[in-house]
Amino acid sequence: MPLAWVPTTAQITVAVVLLGILAVLIAVFARWGSYWIQAYMSGADVSMASLIAMSFLKIEHRLIVTAKVMARQAGLDIDRKGGISTARLQAHQLAGGDVMNVMKAIIAAHRAGIDLNFDRAAAIDLAGRDVLLAVQTSVSPRVIRCPMEGHEGTGNRTAGTLSAVAKNGVELLVSARVTVRTNLEQLIGGATEETIIARVGQGIVTSIGSADSHMDVLEMPSLISKGAMAHGLDVNTAYEIVSIDIADIDVGENIGARLQKDQADADVRVARAAAEVRRAEAVARKQQMKARVALRRAELVIAESEVPKGLAAAFRAGQIRVKRIAPPRVRSRRLGDGGGDHRPSDPSSSPLGDRSMPARIKPRSQEDS
């Protein structure tokens, strides 16, 4: 009876190795085979080695494979050298970017005929901007209100309107709609919607302020749009202004008349203050004059009190003597009786005596002369 076949050690080793390789292949295929078959059937060019590397890098396989399939089906270049390769998608995912959002934006731009490559889209995404929304806004412009909802305009008392004053002093309340589209060339580093709205509001206020009358603006609201568009409001911004349309315009207060009234009230207050100052000065001057009058009266009283002293001193010095002069009636009677210039030799012989003869006091110097 023949002996049974006994494998050699080498044969056993080879068999074990082959079984191990087969087991590894089965495990690999079971883990990543579905993704590789999906990519292979779609022509997405995703290798098994890339799928295995994604596991070690903790990258979601489905995300990368789906992005590659989308790019392939959209007709984008997925060449490993210059196209959207698997390595570039992995790098963007590891950098914290949104691979699906970037891929959707590139496909939308490609279909719309907008020049947007993977590097620029990835840069916009990593800069914190929504690249898909930017492409959609560039393809389909959107409308923003000026001023924004919930914000007030310059000097505005009514929400949702801008306040501007014409040269004749009449206030106009204006609300506008601004149509913008994204400028992908300046999306990184360009100003945002708030800047656009602020500039448009400034342009509207300037245009109304340059009008001679508010009636001109009411007759032709397009003057506001043309004046605002002429200032280049979208310079260095992430948007391009397509049009500025005036949605509503109302007449507010007469600011010029109110300012004139306020100025007149201020002038009246100033004039009253000046008049009060002058009145206070006049009252003070009056009191000063009263004080001077009282002082002069006191001096007069003092001077009058010195007169008797002077007369007494003059009498004592013999510088004044008393001369008796008859009253007019007595003189006329004497002249009528005797005629001529008759004078009694002795004053005591007169019927009236010394009491009826007023004294005329003359300085001796005058009598001697």
pLDDT at 45: 81
Domain co-membership, 174 together with 228: yes
Would residue 363 count as lying in a domain?
A: yes
My answer on whether 117 and 130 are in the same domain is: yes
| Domain presence at residue 287 | no
Query: Is residue 301 assigned to a domain?
Result: no
325 in Cβ contact with 359 (< 8 Å): yes
Do 108 and 146 lie in a common domain? Answer: no
Residue 295 lies in a domain: no
- Domain identity same for 17 and 44: yes
Same domain? For 23 and 38 the reply is yes
Q: Note whether residue 118 is domain-resident.
A: yes
Q: Which of 197-206, 247-256, 317-326 has the lowest mean pLDDT?
A: 317-326
Residue 46, domain member (yes or no): yes
Same domain membership, residue 86 and residue 26: yes
Q: What is the pLDDT of residue 232?
A: 83
Which stretch of 18-32, 113-127, 207-221, 329-343 has the lowest confidence by average pLDDT?
A: 329-343
pLDDT of 336 > 60? The answer is no
Confidence of residue 285 (pLDDT cuts 50, 70, 90): very high
Q: What is the mean pLDDT of residues 195-199?
A: 91
Q: For residues 78 and 163, state if they share a domain.
A: no
**Phi, psi at residue 154, to the nearest 5°?**
-65, 115
- Final residue of a structural domain among 119, 139, 159: 139
Q: Last residue of a domain, which of 139, 158, 182? A: 139
Q: Identify residue 143 by its one-letter amino acid code.
A: V
Domain containing 179 equals: 142-255
Q: In terms of pTM, does the model score above 0.75?
A: no
- Residue 160 pLDDT grade (very low, low, confident, very high; cuts 50, 70, 90): confident
Would you say 50 and 56 are in contact if contact means Cβ atoms under 8 Å apart? no
- As for how many domains the chain has, the answer is 3
**Which residues are paired to 164 by β-bridges?**
172
236 and 122 fall within a common domain: no
Q: With respect to residue 265, please indicate whether it lies within any of the assigned structural domains.
A: no
Does residue 84 sit in the same domain as residue 114? Answer: yes
The CA–CA distances, whole Å, from 191 to 30, 122, 225 equal 51, 19, 21
Reply yes or no on whether the pLDDT at 358 is more than 80. no
275 domain residue, yes or no = no
